[in-house]
Every structure is written in structure tokens, then in C-alpha cells.
Amino acid sequence: MFLRTISFAVLGCTLLLGPIASTAADRGPSTPEERKQALEYIQHFEADPLNPALKPEIQWVVKWNMEVPDVRIDICANFYKLPKAEERDGQTLFNAMVFAETAFVLRNPDRQSDQLAQYQAGVEKVLRVYEVLLKATPKTASPI
């Protein structure tokens, strides 16, 4: 049932939101080194999403993503309507979505405006990270 809820959330995402704009007006475009660093940090997170030692890397990617004007992702408002999990788990799933969409845009700059492809990348990663959460803490399972 949780999988179906996520599927409906993705469908809703395609209809609701536009891209997140840059929040730092004086910031220039991302550099090749920053894009490489972002992908490296995203890979670290994907390999071990529950590792608390990755918090500085996670924070770096989130801040960088909000500041650079040339990497735009679409955040799905329906994500917030999913069943509430523990706060840590919800943040981990949100990070998975944001990071997967960011990685998609960095690897496919010509498809940056393809919202559906971004959402698909995000949801696929959320499902994989949800499986990790279930193995680590079976009580995470959604009752829906």
C-alpha cells in the first residue's frame, strides 16, 4: 500500500510544482569541481543513507543545491503528504529524493526541465532508501 501511495504522490508531483530557484542572488553558476563534489557526496549518501558521519556532506549538497542558479530540481509537494514516519526517517527519504533528482540533473543537463524524469529518479531512490530503513528498523513500515 505504501508503494501505491508513493506512486500517487509521483503522479501528483507532475501536476503541482515548478522548479526551486536559486536563493543566493550573488552566486554564480556551479563549477565543474562543485558538480563533481556534489555527485561524490550523493554517492556516499546512496551507499549508506543512515550513516550519521555523512551529515556535513548532506548539508553541503543541500546548501549548494539551493544556492547555485544553474542546477534546478523540482520538489514534489505531495511528498509531504505521505504517512508520517520518524523524523529522521522522513528527512532521510526527503534527502534521497532531492539527491536523486540532483544527480539526474547533473548527469543529464539537457533534461533539466524534464519534471517527470526527475520525479521518477527521486521516487525510485526513495523506494530503495525505504527498503534500507525497513531493514534497519522494521517498525518504520507504514501501516497504509
Residue 123 lies in a domain: yes
Residue 75 lies in a domain: yes
Distance CA 67, CA 41 (A): 17
Count CA atoms within 13 Å of residue 75 on its CB side. Answer: 15
Biggest distance spanned by C-alpha atoms of the chain = 46
Residue 10 lies in a domain: yes
Residue 25 lies in a domain: no
Residue 92 lies in a domain: yes
Q: What is the mean pLDDT of residues 72-94?
A: 71
Residue 21 lies in a domain: no
Look at residue 22 in the predicted model and tell me its pLDDT: 38
Query: 17-21, 61-65, 124-128: which range is least confident on average?
Result: 17-21
69: pLDDT strictly greater than 70: yes
Distance CA 67, CA 62 (A): 9
For the chain, give the mean pLDDT: 79
Look at residue 137 in the predicted model and tell me its pLDDT: 79
**Could you tell me the residue range of the domain that residue 39 belongs to?**
2-14+32-137
123: pLDDT strictly greater than 60: yes
47: pLDDT strictly greater than 80: yes
- Structural domain count of the chain: 1
List the beta bridge partners of residue 74.
19
